[in-house]
Amino acid sequence: MNEGHLPIGRFARLCRLSVKQLRHYDELGLLTPDHVDPDTGYRYYRPDQARAAMLIGLLRSIDVPLTSIGRVLSGDTGALGGVRDRMEADLARRERNFAALERILSDGLPRPEVTVVREPARRVAVVRDIATPDRIGVVTSACVARLLAAVGTPKGLLIGLFPLDLTRELAVAVTVETSEDVPGTSPDVLPGGLYASVTHVGPYDQIPLTAHALLAWVGERGHTPEGPLREVYVSNPVTTPQNRLVTHLMIKLEDPE
């Protein structure tokens, strides 16, 4: 064999990777040793493979997944762009989570006051869309924009409707009370009756904190929540600071018979 060949341990020290990692990368086809002894299975690397090895280490050190690294190594120049986008979205989500945790730590676990109110049926103009769980915020904003464009200055408060199961693809809707049909929207009637209601104060992306408490209240009392979760946007999000935004969260209770 060539004299320059390095056994795996020496190569690992050279590249600042662990032996385990190198074997794993070999197995995945990311970095195949220049030569493998057919009798003993010993892996031997050429020194100039250190560049590829260290590229792997570099990208791993910034959390690029091995599959993406594989694409980079095989010349897919666009692979890192996708990683960038995913990292950015992940980062934003983690920042939201961190803010929510900070809030819990400062305000304690949410135990807001739940009241039962009787709501009239409401004739509304509806704008709907489909969203994935992580895009609820964006999609809802878009619906609001479309609704406002169709209705003009609304006379009542905007009401959002969200299904209780947020784990998969879901339909969101934004409505406003109206007395006549509005072009560009669908007419609908929100059922009246008894609702459990709670007030959320804070950023919209922390609504789940309060909504969980509302649903817990409902479940605790043995009610079965019916229909979508209703969010009544009381504050003007343009003029109100994030942590003063007021939203009423309501869920219909089954009719007592």
Partner DNA sequence: GTTGGACTCTCCCACTGTGGGAGCCTCCAT
Partner DNA sequence: ATGGAGGCTCCCACAGTGGGAGAGTCCAAC
Residues in contact with DNA by CB under 7 A are 7-10, 18-21, 23-24, 37, 39-43, 60, 65-67, 167
Contact segment (CB under 8 A) with a copy of itself among 30-38, 114-122, 160-168, 195-203 equals: 160-168
The residues near 84 (Cβ < 8 Å, ≥ 6 apart) are none
Cα(36)–Cα(41) distance, integer angstroms: 6
Partner whose footprint covers residue 40, from a copy of itself, DNA, none (CB < 5 to 8 Å by kind): DNA
Q: How many residues bind a copy of itself (CB under 8 A)?
A: 56
16: contact with a copy of itself by CB under 8 A: yes
Cα(30)–Cα(21) distance, integer angstroms: 11
Q: 11 near 53, Cβ under 8 Å?
A: yes
Smallest distance, a copy of itself to C-beta of residue 154, A: 30
Query: Where do runs of H (alpha helix) occur along the chain?
Result: 8-15, 19-28, 50-61, 66-73, 79-107, 136-151, 207-220
Alpha-carbon dihedral sign for residues 65, 68, 74, 80 = negative
Bridge partner list, 7: 44
Q: Of 24-53, which residues contact a copy of itself (CB under 8 A)?
A: 47-48, 50-51, 53
Contact segment (CB under 8 A) with a copy of itself among 98-106, 120-128, 146-154, 232-240 equals: 98-106
Partner whose footprint covers residue 41, from DNA, a copy of itself, none (CB < 5 to 8 Å by kind): DNA
Smallest distance, a copy of itself to C-beta of residue 252, A: 15
Tell me which of 7, 35, 57, 201 binds a copy of itself, using CB under 8 A.
57
166: contact with a copy of itself by CB under 8 A: yes
Specify the residue for token string 């649903």: 215
HEC string of 48-66 equals HHHHHHHHHHHHHHCCCCH
Q: Please, what's the b/e burial string for 185-222 (b: 16 or more CB within 10 A of its CB; e: otherwise)?
A: beeeebeebebbbbbbebbbbbbbbbbebbbebbeeee
Smallest distance, DNA to C-beta of residue 204, A: 23
Q: Which is nearer to DNA, 71 or 128 (CB)?
A: 71
3 state SS of 42 = coil
Cα(235)–Cα(241) distance, integer angstroms: 10
Q: Of 114-153, which residues contact a copy of itself (CB under 8 A)?
A: none
Query: In the complex, which residues of this chain contact a copy of itself (CB under 8 A)?
Result: 4, 13-16, 18, 47-48, 50-51, 53-55, 57-58, 61-64, 80-81, 83-84, 87-88, 90-91, 94-98, 100-102, 104-105, 109, 164-167, 208-209, 212-213, 215-222, 224-225
